[in-house]
């Protein structure tokens, strides 16, 4: 590396660091800012500029938020909001993986009439995001009685053309000999899946899980449409309700705590599962 004519010399390298530090600062600052705000009192928050170091109210703010503070402004406990959001995020991620793997398995390892038609039917949903069919989809939800239910929040979002495509692509790289050998040994579709395919798919499953968990956690338009009751709010929707009805009485310190808690779980998942996340993102989308 050292003798390569490409190895950047001292000054270039230092400039690289300086620019990266500036870039990282801009990228991280908004999250840092809300974290700092969550450790100050409402009075301090409302009197700019905000100090740039954590304040003394941190523990008190978080304790208050978890023990009834959010109920007073949002009408529902912080635990419930986090629970709802986690349930939806995990439900969507697991649901997508399950039905996409099943469809990809059917399309790759079986031959049946209308196989490609089924594939295209799934594939074309790429072109029908929720945003372009808001009103009629809402009507379906009402007709099926799915408003304010977890099923309503999860089911419509688990169809996934991208996950199906990814699993299909991956299954097609499985050497034919593996399946032949399995069939010679008398393995049926379920045995082959459980003993051979599933263990081989784990990295892809992890990658898709991270991406879809983030997708589920950060949903906005859908929960906004299909929930009316505060009890069914996700933390993101609850937060938006808090700030849109803000007045002189709004306890901003608790709003900031809620923001931090809305960001923290997906942030931890992305950072801790970074390896799978980056692989999944860069490889699926290309």
Interface positions, 126-155, toward another protein (CB under 8 A): 126-129, 131-140, 144, 155
- Under the binding rule (CB under 8 A), the answer on residue 72 touching another protein is no
SS3 5: coil
Nearer to another protein, 69 or 280 (CB): 280
Q: Residues touching another protein: how many (CB under 8 A)? A: 104
Cα-Cα-Cα-Cα torsion 144, 148, 153, 156, nearest 10 degrees, comes to 20
Using CB under 8 A as the binding rule, the residues of this chain from 209 to 228 that contact another protein are 214, 217-221, 224-225
Taking the mean position of all CA atoms in its chain, how far away is CA 254? 24
Nearer to another protein, 67 or 272 (CB): 272
Cα-Cα-Cα-Cα torsion 137, 142, 143, 148, nearest 10 degrees, comes to 110
Plot region of 233 (φ>0 → left; ψ -120 to 50 → alpha; else → beta)? beta
- Under the binding rule (CB under 8 A), the answer on residue 194 touching another protein is no
Taking the mean position of all CA atoms in its chain, how far away is CA 23? 24
Minimum distance of another protein from residue 137's CB (angstroms): 4
- Under the binding rule (CB under 8 A), the answer on residue 112 touching another protein is yes
Nearer to another protein, 76 or 236 (CB): 236
Task: Please give the full DSSP string across 177-193, using - where no structure is assigned.
Answer: HHHHHHHHTT--HHHHI
Using CB under 8 A as the binding rule, the residues of this chain from 11 to 30 that contact another protein are 12-13, 15-17, 19-20, 23-24, 26-28, 30
Minimum distance of another protein from residue 67's CB (angstroms): 23
């Amino acid at each position: 590396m050292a003798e390569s004519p490409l190895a950047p010399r001292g000054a270039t390298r230092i400039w690289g660091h300086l620019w990266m530090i500036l870039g990282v600062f801009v990228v991280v600052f908004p999250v840092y800012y809300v974290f700092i705000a969550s450790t100050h009192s409402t009075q301090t928050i409302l009197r700019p500029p905000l100090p740039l170091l954590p304040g003394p109210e941190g523990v008190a703010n978080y304790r208050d938020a978890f023990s009834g503070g959010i109920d007073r402004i949002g009408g529902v406990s912080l635990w419930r909001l986090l629970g709802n959001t986690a349930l939806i995020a995990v439900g969507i991620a697991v649901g997508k993986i399950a039905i996409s793997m099943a469809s990809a398995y059917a399309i790759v390892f079986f031959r049946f009439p209308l196989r490609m038609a089924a594939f295209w039917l799934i594939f074309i949903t790429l072109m029908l995001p929720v945003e372009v069919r808001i009103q009629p989809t809402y009507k379906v939800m009402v007709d099926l009685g799915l408003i304010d239910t977890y099923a309503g929040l999860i089911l419509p979002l688990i169809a996934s053309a991208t996950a199906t495509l990814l699993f299909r692509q991956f299954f097609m790289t499985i050497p034919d000999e593996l399946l032949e050998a399995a069939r010679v040994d008398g393995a049926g579709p379920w045995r082959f899946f459980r003993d051979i395919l599933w263990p081989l798919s784990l990295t892809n499953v992890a990658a898709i899980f991270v991406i879809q968990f983030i997708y589920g956690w950060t949903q906005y338009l859908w929960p906004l449409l299909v929930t009316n009751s505060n009890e069914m709010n996700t933390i993101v929707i609850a937060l938006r309700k808090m700030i849109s009805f803000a007045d002189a009485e709004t306890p901003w310190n608790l709003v900031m705590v809620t923001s931090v808690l809305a960001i923290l779980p997906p942030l931890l998942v992305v950072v801790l599962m970074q390896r799978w996340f980056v692989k999944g993102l860069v490889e699926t989308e290309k």
